[in-house]
Structure 1
Amino acid sequence: MTFADQDENANEEVQDENDSEEVLDENDSEEVQDENDSEEVQDENDSEEVLDENDSEEVLDETAETGSADAADADTTVDATVGDFPVASLEMLLMTHHTQAVMALGMMPDPMTGETSANKDAAKFHIDMLSIIEEKTKGNLTSEESEALSSILHQLRMAFFAS
């Protein structure tokens, strides 16, 4: 191979490298565009989250400003719903575990199947969960909440030992 042939091969290799770089540059610009697109989507999502947070803050501010008993009652009302779910509250938590324990003790039929069956392990679990709630919230409950929790636990424990 002569020097001219080597020079021509080198030029072809340089051209091939340049072609490869152009393809890479095109891919890089597509990646940059994809990143920009995803950043725009993220920015839109961030602004939606900010709106949601601002809406929540406005509702809290309005409730604090009005100080209405209706707003406070709305938070603790068990019948109130958010979408398909009831409003989260201590009463709802207690009622959920109470209902599950009563069903597990065989004192109430399962609403999904209509069948009554006893499962002492499940009943014990829900009674224990209520005991933990009582222990961890001691001193932080209103007198009504504390009495309700104590009463629920007493009734469930008696039913557990009777079964």
Structure 2
Amino acid sequence: MASEKHRDPSGEATFPEINFMTFIMSLNASAMVNLGVLDEPGSQKKDKNLMLGKQTIDILAMLQEKTKGNLSPDEENMLKNILYDLRIIYVKEKS
């Protein structure tokens, strides 16, 4: 996930507000880097680390379980779809 910087009136770089969805997207990007799908930030290379990718998938699954019934429909669907996609990628990369 590319970090999108914004500028405040003084010209200082700022980042979008952190909420549950941006937090999940950040974890998703981290998993995608570790699964070798996205380039390592700051470089033009992919550096696969399946153990860290799996750990991030497990963290997302734990968040899904612990937040059950407390998410908006959009948050719930996004988390479900991200987990599905990451699990498919993990299985493909592991084999």
Q: Would the TM-score normalized by the shorter structure come out above 0.5? A: yes
Q: Which has the higher helix share?
A: 1
**So what's the TM-score if we normalise by structure 1?**
0.48
> Which consecutive unaligned segments of at least 5 residues does structure 2 have?
none
**1:36 alignment counterpart:** none
RMSD of aligned C-alpha atoms?
1.9
Match of 1:128 among 58, 61, 70: 58
The amino acid of 2:57's aligned partner reads I
What is the CA–CA distance in structure 2 between the aligned matches of 1:127 and 1:113, rounded to whole Å? 23
> Which consecutive unaligned segments of at least 5 residues does structure 1 have?
1-78
Question: CA-to-partner distance for each residue in 1:73-120, whole Å, 9 max, x for gaps?
Answer: xxxxxx796863321101111100100001101011112122111101
User: Which one has the largest radius of gyration?
Assistant: 1
Matches within 5 A, 1:1-163: 84-163=14-93
Q: What is the aligned-residue identity percentage?
A: 29
Count of residues in Structure 1 that have an aligned counterpart in Structure 2: 85
Q: Which has the higher contact order (CA 8 A, sep 6+)?
A: 2
What is the CA–CA distance in structure 2 between the aligned matches of 1:85 and 1:122, rounded to whole Å? 25
DSSP-derived class of the 1:86 partner: coil
Structure 1 residue ranges (4+ consecutive) displaced by more than 4 angstroms after TM superposition = 79-83
